[in-house]
Amino acid sequence: MATWSNRRKYGYLFIFVAALVLLFGVPSFFIFYKAPTCFDGVQNGGETGIDCGGGCVKLCPADFAPPRVLWSYAVQVLPGVYNALAYVQNPNPSVQASSLPYDMRIYDDQGLLIAERTGSAFIPAGKKFAVFEGGIDAGRRVPARTTFEFTSLPNWTPGAMSSKLHTDSVDLVQGPSPKAEVVVRNESAGSSFSNIDTFIILYDKDDNRVSFSKTVIDSIAAGGTVIKTFTWPQAFPTNIVRTEVLFTVRGA
């Protein structure tokens, strides 16, 4: 059993240690402690990733599905010159990315690289969209395979699916010099849009893509309509039974 003298010594020791903590420990804590922030390179403070998620403005890529490349394809537009298109889907209805780097490559039937294009694409929220590269010089070689991949993770920001642009009609004329006349309507009552990348994709009876084309709608007023014409330099190799029109409206 501890004697009164020993208890007194322990009491003095406790007071001494407590005084040290008060004099040095507490001030040191406030001097060296740094509160969690969304810019400290550490996952802390309720974040779901490093400096993202939780209370941070930045969204975490891991919290959302990546864009899905459904197919990529190249078609001849002039002798030795091709256009290429990647057909992509963002499965996330509530986020978009303003600029996502990509790499597109075209190979011949021997697996040899013909051409490579790099760029960055706007990723609209919750939609299928197209990424286009035009005027690709293949020389005397014939593209047999086109690949497309994004080369980094998206920097997601909040976004919403937009369906304000509607295709009223597509009048496709096939033959030696095909063309398609597309009537586009802006269903918004108060918003006009400008610089709209517009794509048309053509499919055969087996729903295989046959060809595609791109144009730009300079502007379309609220409640208004525009007519855009797509043309091709030569007849299609098979009959077209279905068309699909895609719009990329940045910031919508």
pLDDT tens figures, 61-88: 888 999 999 999 999 999 999 999 999 9
| pLDDT given at position 24 | 57
How far apart are the C-alpha atoms of 31 and 60, rounded to whole Å? 31
The per-residue pLDDT for 145 is 97
pLDDT digits (tens, 9 = 90+) for 160-209: 877 789 999 999 999 999 999 999 999 998 889 999 999 999 999 999 99
Q: Which string of DSSP letters, residue by residue, matches 77-140?
A: EETTEEEEEEEEE---TTEEEEEEEEEEEEE-TTS-EEEEEEEEEEE-TT-EEEEEEEEEE-TT
- Among the residue ranges 4-13, 125-134, 171-180, 183-192, the one predicted with the least confidence is 4-13
- Please check whether residues 118 and 191 belong to one and the same domain: no
Of 103, 131, 161, the last residue of a domain is 161
Give the per-residue pLDDT at 49: 77
User: 94: domain CATH number?
Assistant: 2.60.40.3230
Tell whether 192 and 251 lie within a shared domain: yes
Distance CA 15, CA 8 (A): 11
Do 140 and 188 share a domain, yes or no? no
| Residues spanned by the domain of 200 | 162-252
Residue-averaged pLDDT of the chain = 88
- Residue pair 143/74 in contact (Cβ under 8 Å)? The answer is yes
Same domain, 181 and 154: no
Q: Do 130 and 169 share a structural domain? A: no
CATH of the domain at 190: 2.60.40.10
Q: What does the buried/exposed string (b/e) look like for 160-181 if buried means 16 or more CB atoms within 10 Å of the residue's CB?
A: eebebbebeebebeeeeebebe
Residue 219 lies in a domain: yes
Give the E-state strand segments of the chain in sequence order. 68-78, 81-89, 95-107, 113-123, 128-137, 145-150, 157-158, 165-173, 179-186, 193-203, 209-220, 225-231, 242-248
- pLDDT tens readout for residues 19-57: 655 565 556 555 655 666 786 778 776 767 777 877 787
Residue 31 lies in a domain: no
